Amino acid sequence: MKRVFLSVFAFLFASGTAYAGSALEDLIRVADMYESPAAPEVRIQTQVKNNDSTREIADWTIMIFMNGKNSLSAYIKEDFNEMETAGSNSRVNIVAELGCNSDTDDGSYYSVNRYLVKHDTDMNTINSPVLQKLTGADMGDWRELAAFGKWAKENFPAKKYFLIVENHGSGWDKKIRAGMSRGISYDDETDNYINTPQLAMAIKEMGGVDVYGSDACLMQMAEVAYELKDITEYVVGSEETEPGAGGDYSGFLVPFVNATDSIDSLTAAKFFVDSYGNFYDKTGEGYTQSMINSKAMADFPEIVKKLTSAIMKAEDSRTARAAISEIIHFDDPAHKDFADFADYMARNSKNAEVKAAAQELSAYIKNNLVSANRSAKARYGGQDYATHAHGIAVYLSTKRPYSRYADLSWSRASGWLDFLNWLKGR
């Protein structure tokens, strides 16, 4: 996630923890994806409902799940203060579940509170009213995310909903361990996290959302977006690790709450992408941020299959393996830009069927699947994001995939695992 390099490396070196296992094992180990420990008992110490019966249904409720029960605590509090520069109004509710940790003489203390975000200009103190204080809330449990979404919808109903999960993305996890899968929302108190299928389960449990955003590293992948295709309209996120400041919540929310015209889902998602891009264009840092049209994900696997089938039929493994070595990758070397792969195959394959299928796939990504894409420079050197990062990544490697990759919805629909296995054997 955001600020991940400010915290993860410090943790790894301080603890002596070493990275073990392939990147794919971290990406797709999903043995526990439908089985979780029993949900912890959550005690509500204080509860204040939105009982104003005269309040009209808002146009939007923006729900931000801010898991700072880890090394991101101080930074996430800063983001909350950014959110308060906008504040809620009659048309836009901004609600947050904020988890924090703080060191005391007795050790670490964790707190989880739910808020209605109110406007103020104090950037050092959270002044919004606490609506619920929760004890025992595990922000690494998908059921806690689902409960937050249902609570927000019950108390702050709206015509449309925008959910953001803010935390580390699993491209860089602080505690590499057996059984880790690709996920989000790591909770240091419980040593738990939400994996990709569980993220979909949480959003489905809360009744779906119009826009979903990961303010976290490395989450804008086919494997994630396909899991969410039936419960979202748009999916926002970054192919690459995020720079230190993460999302620009002032830049995102101020124009949102001040807009005089009706905001549709496309515009709302683009607000986040553009605020992110505008912020990092000013800082000069390399970045990626995009929005994926969930409806277009339905046809995406068949278009992918056309290319992989053509490559296997033509026995064109040499070009495909060369692409893996030469196209852009992100912080995890196995995370490749999908359109950059298609473009490479279109340029370099000698087979007409492969070239045509690659051109079709690239065009579909750029014209149908990715509705907005902002990127600049390169975060860690190498190829320029503005030229080669087109808004959606995929796992692509010649290493042996972990067997449970087959359990991901993406793998079953696209046949991507079959292609990876074929490629490894060549």
- 182, pLDDT greater than 60: no
How far apart (Å, rounded) are the C-alpha atoms in residues 411 and 31?
15
Domain count, the chain: 2
| Listed residues 294, 325, 359: the one ending a domain | 294
Q: Are residues 199 and 253 located together in one domain of the fold?
A: yes
This prediction's pTM = 0.86
Instruction: Tell me the pLDDT tens digit for each residue of 284-300.
Output: 999 999 999 999 999 99
What tokens does 322 get? 């060369």
How far apart (Å, rounded) are the C-alpha atoms in residues 84 and 123?
8
At 168 the pLDDT is: 61
- Which of 26-35, 187-196, 273-282 has the least mean pLDDT? 26-35
Q: CA quadruple 387, 389, 394, 400: dihedral positive or negative?
A: positive
How far apart (Å, rounded) are the C-alpha atoms in residues 66 and 113?
10
pLDDT band at 12 (very low <50, low <70, confident <90, very high): very low
How far apart (Å, rounded) are the C-alpha atoms in residues 370 and 266?
11
At 181 the pLDDT is: 45
Q: Are residues 135 and 264 located together in one domain of the fold?
A: yes
CB under 8 A, 24+ apart: contacts of 48-53:
48/129, 48/130, 48/131, 48/132, 49/131, 49/155, 50/116, 50/131, 50/155, 50/156
* CATH number of the CATH domain containing 204: 3.40.50.11970
Cα–Cα nearest to 390, from 171, 200, 222, 168 = 222
Q: What is the mean pLDDT of residues 400-418?
A: 83
The full 3-state SS of 39-90, as one line of letters, equals CCCCEEEEECCCCCCCCCCEEEEEEEEEEECCCCHHHHHHHHHHHHCCCCCC
| Listed residues 247, 275, 294: the one ending a domain | 294
Q: Are residues 181 and 251 located together in one domain of the fold?
A: yes
At 53 the pLDDT is: 42
- Average pLDDT of the chain is 84
- 34, pLDDT greater than 50: no
Q: What is the mean pLDDT of residues 141-161?
A: 97
Q: Are residues 263 and 338 located together in one domain of the fold?
A: no
Instruction: Tell me the pLDDT tens digit for each residue of 153-165.
Output: 999 999 999 999 9
DSSP-H helix ranges across 122-179: 142-155
Instruction: Tell me the pLDDT tens digit for each residue of 57-101.
Output: 999 999 999 988 877 777 788 889 999 999 999 999 999 999 988
Q: Are residues 313 and 263 located together in one domain of the fold?
A: no
Q: Are residues 315 and 172 located together in one domain of the fold?
A: no
Q: Are residues 246 and 106 located together in one domain of the fold?
A: yes
Q: Are residues 71 and 142 located together in one domain of the fold?
A: yes
| Structural domain for 339, as ranges | 298-424
